[in-house]
Amino acid sequence: MSNDNGLFNVTEKHLNTGLRGIPVGTCRTSFVTPTEGVHYCGYPISELANQSPEDVVYLLFNKELPTPAQSAAFKEDLAGRGHVPDSVAAVFHTLPKDGHPMDWLSVGIQTLGMLETTGDWKEDALNLIARMPRLMGLLFRIREGRGSDIPEDDLSATMVKRFARTLDLDGIDQDQMERILSTYLVLHMDHGGGNLSTFAGKAIASGHATVYSSISGAMNALSGPLHGRANQSCLEFVLRIGTSDPEQVEAFVRGELEAKRPVFGFGHAVLRAEDPRATVQFALGEVMCPDDENFKIIRTLREVAPRVLSENPKISNPNANVDIASGALLHYVGFKDPTYYTTFFGWARVAGIGAQIIDERTVMRDGKGTPIYRPKYIAEQQTLRHVE
């Protein structure tokens, strides 16, 4: 791009619209198209779904998929970074058990930063990624009252295996859990530069706050019901339906619309087709849990809701988005409490936000980095006056 290219004409109608659609920067890790959804470094997400989370982290940081040798070296590097100090668990033991898991996650990340921050953007981002599996496992166990006899962390294992080992749930098919979590992490790692949590994390980092402070702030942004917590709301919505009968599902959807309540799991700001991340998860569910009651409900919803929603000409995309299937799959493999679902989203997004922070701090503007964010706000309903 040349410096004098016109990209956007800003008018008064764009004020107070949350910067929606207004260009503010460039992104090297991902982009979204209306028909193929999110792409990581040019690869459509549907082509990456079966990659290991570690290899996709490598892609986001290096902009190329690793060779087998690079993959092995990167996994070994992450293993050397993964130790989580015992004092993190001690902090978790002091937190209120009824605090939302996303608040715990934010506190945990901030705690890691207080314990060790190198000041090197890439080093700190990779360290945090490597420590997330153990942090997540500790969060689950201690918040649920299982804070004793926690297995030692096996740093040589994959990120997902380390989390599962720390969690140490009984009666769980470990292979199924690990496959669903691996797919989930890959599908959720990045989504362009302008989503709220990513933008918030980069904005905080632009003031040269640490990676840990920046990503902790990003997790707070992710926790809202209009952003990351939508996947929690979606599973709660599915549980409320309680049946996969098409007529009853349609009646429920119409009832929600008449009551002016959202139909969770459908629609997307950019996409104009079914989200490929939803398509991937539906295919995974058909293999792993086709007879699961919640999966049968979302299968019916996938057919019914777009047809009902498309009756409203104001709805530009009535199709399924990524949230419709993820909760049902997580529930199937043992995560019965939907209040935890956004923490998985946060775990995944740490990689994409971290990679984008590195780019904005060390690559953009020929290595000078993006300046501190300072958008223009125009004064309204104010006139000059003086104290009498």
Integer CA distances (angstroms), 107 to 33, 88, 119, in order: 34, 9, 19
Unique residue bearing structure tokens 């297995």: 151
Distance between CA atoms of residues 283 and 281, nearest Å: 5
Q: What is the enclosing helix (H) or strand (E) of 113? A: helix 101-115
Which candidate in 268, 275, 331, 359 is catalytic?
A: 268
Residue partners of 249: CB distance under 8 A and separation at least 6: 241, 243, 297, 300, 301, 304
Take residue 299 and report the two structure tokens written for it. 């299968």
**Confidence band of 268 (pLDDT split at 50, 70, 90):** confident
| Cβ contact 105:343 at 8 Å | yes
Which pLDDT tens digit goes with each residue over 169-188? 999 999 999 999 999 999 99
Which pLDDT tens digit goes with each residue over 109-157? 999 999 999 999 999 999 999 999 999 999 999 999 999 999 999 999 9
- Read off φ and ψ for residue 320, nearest 5 degrees: -65, 140
| Cβ contact 328:238 at 8 Å | yes
3-class state of residue 258 by DSSP = helix
Q: Regarding beta strands 30-33 and 43-44, do their DSSP bridges make them parallel or antiparallel, or are they unpaired?
A: unpaired
Distance between CA atoms of residues 311 and 24, nearest Å: 35
Which pLDDT tens digit goes with each residue over 352-380? 999 999 999 999 999 999 999 999 999 99
What's the pLDDT at 3? 67
Residue partners of 301: CB distance under 8 A and separation at least 6: 238, 241, 249, 253, 265, 320, 324
| Residue 1 scores a pLDDT above 80 | no
What's the pLDDT at 2? 59
| Cβ contact 375:255 at 8 Å | no
Active site residue 83: no
How many Cβ atoms are within 10 Å of 128's Cβ, its own excluded?
Answer: 24
| Cβ contact 256:262 at 8 Å | yes
Active site residue 268: yes
Which candidate in 14, 83, 100, 227 is catalytic?
A: 227
**Confidence band of 226 (pLDDT split at 50, 70, 90):** confident
Q: What is the enclosing helix (H) or strand (E) of 37? A: strand 37-40
Q: At 131, which amino acid appears?
A: R
Tell me the pLDDT of the chain averaged across its residues. Answer: 96
What's the pLDDT at 5? 80
Which pLDDT tens digit goes with each residue over 100-117? 999 999 999 999 999 999
Distance between CA atoms of residues 321 and 179, nearest Å: 20
Q: What is the enclosing helix (H) or strand (E) of 32? A: strand 30-33
- Read off φ and ψ for residue 145, nearest 5 degrees: 85, 20
> pTM for this structure?
0.96
Active site residue 168: no
